[in-house]
Amino acid sequence: METAIIIRYCEIHLKGKNRGHFEKMLKENIKKSLKDIDFTFTTMHSRYLIENYDENDYDIIAEKLHKIAGVHTFSRAVVVDSTMDNILNAAKTLCEQKEGTFKVITNRADKTFTPGSMETSMFIGGKLLECYGGKLKVDVKNPSFALYIDIREDGKSFIYTDIEHGLSGMPVGSSGKGLLLISGGIDSPVAGYLTAKRGMKLDCLHFHSFPYTGEAAKEKVIELAKKVGEYNGGINLYVVSFTHIQEAIHKNCPEEFMITLMRRFMMRIAERLAIQQGDQAIITGESLGQVASQTIESITSSNSVVTLPVLRPLIAFDKLDIIEIARKIDTYETSILPYEDCCTVFLPKYPAIKPNLERVKRAESKLDVDALIDEAFLKVEKYVL
Ligand code: ATP
Ligand code: MG
């Protein structure tokens, strides 16, 4: 039996002048994601159609569609030439494995097809009851599934029962470009995923503290970035060595400001890299009150060294809610692998929870900030994931 995949996007975002831009990006993102698969792609009244694919590829296609922001729902439909017999046969096949209550919903774009939509639904519903009356019952108010019949203008009809939910959101690339500060933790991959889902194309930056943090810690971050990249049409990860900066802070500044000063360096380096790469914002996984470095005073201190907008999609999330998303996007198990993060290496016993900005600046004045940042840029590793 011939099948096609109907892809729907959220109409709500399509109003006004952005519609064409949105549609084009989504189309390109779908094609790019399915580039290793043979199929034909067509547009049909605010929907896309994937046809002429190998049925064996369906699971791979579905898995990829689930990761494309902007895809609202999709359905695998049986495609037949529009005759009542063909439609009935397809309906019978689709209901073979079904049980419970159902209703038939017909949408007749081809007005030359007779009878009308209601009559078609009633006719097909009646025939299904004749065939499967032992296990199926009609319930038009609250059915356990619906059988959809889409009679198109071109003489083809689509019949389907299942509607899979996609990510929704906006096509990646439609909301600009940003640089995600990615650690090995639970939060930053989730922050990246949520931002990509809203249409921002991401690059990633990770600070590595070799030899305090080892190869395994870096591999873990590569793995996490790759997972975020699945929602981003691939991703570039930049790894910057942070060791000399941590050592300089450790040697020259009061211990209580270790984290605060590290954060300021991270932000400055992020901003410089972002500008180089054309990223318009910096994204972090910070969440209010989660740890000492995530008080409003700490955020004020790190925010004040950059002018690019800093997006913190998790700022008001509870940890359990973040973990739930981490599980959903399959980063959680990797995030909890017990490798050192650069922030834990020089962790002070009593970090300043509400750092006073003037005192922070005084502590920082002991350092040659520009030289330390220049040194960090001497060796930037890039991974295309
Ligand atoms: P995460 O779970 O994302 O590691 P966290 O709760 O451990 O977050 P922090 O360690 O305070 O919180 O880090 C706050 C944010 O700073 C992170 O979400 C991330 O965006 C950024 N960050 C922390 N460490 C690094 C690092 N080594 N490289 C790049 N960014 C980092
Ligand atoms: Mg962390």
Nearest to 195 by CA among 333, 23, 69: 69
Alpha carbon of residue 137 to chain centroid: 39
Q: Looking at ligand 1, which residue's alpha carbon is closest to its atom 11?
A: 293
CA of 209, closest atom in ligand 1: 27
pLDDT of residue 292: 67
Task: Report pLDDT for 12.
Answer: 58
- Which of 299, 340, 343 gets mutated to test ligand 1 (max ligand atoms within 8 A of its CB)? 343
Residue nearest to ligand 1 atom 4, measured at CA: 185
The model's pLDDT over 49-78, given as tens digits with 9 standing for 90+, comes to 999 999 999 999 999 999 999 999 999 999
CA of 285 to the centre of ligand 2 (A): 8
Please state, in angstroms and rounded to a whole number, the distance separating the CA atoms of residues 4 and 219: 39
pLDDT tens digits, one per residue of 205-244: 999 998 888 899 999 999 999 999 999 999 999 999 999 9
CA 118/CA 106 separation, integer angstroms: 7
Measured CA to CA, the distance from residue 370 to residue 119 in angstroms comes to 76
Closest-lying ligand to the alpha carbon of 262? 1
Specify the ligand 1 atom closest to the Cα of 284.
20
Residue closest via CA to ligand 1's atom 13 equals 286
Which pLDDT belongs to residue 41?
96
With contact defined as beta carbons under 8 Å apart, do 49 and 4 qualify?
yes
pLDDT at residue 99 in the model:
94
What is the predicted pLDDT for the residue at 289?
84
Task: Report which DSSP code applies to 66.
Answer: T
β-pairing, 145-151 vs 156-160, is antiparallel
List the chain residues with pLDDT less than 50. Answer: none
Give dist(CA 240, CA 306) in Å, integer. Answer: 18
| Structure confidence by residue, pLDDT tens digits, 104-117 | 999 999 999 999 99
Ligand 1 atom at shortest distance from the alpha carbon of 189 = 3
pTM over 0.85: yes
Look at the chain and count its residues.
Answer: 385
Nearest atom of ligand 1 to the alpha carbon of 294: 11
What confidence score (pLDDT) does residue 234 get? 97
- Distance (Å) from CA 224 to ligand 1 centroid: 13
Q: Which atom of ligand 1 is nearest to the CA of 314?
A: 18
Ligand 1 pocket by C-beta < 6 Å: which residues?
181-183, 185-188, 205-207, 266, 284-286, 290-291, 293-294, 341-343
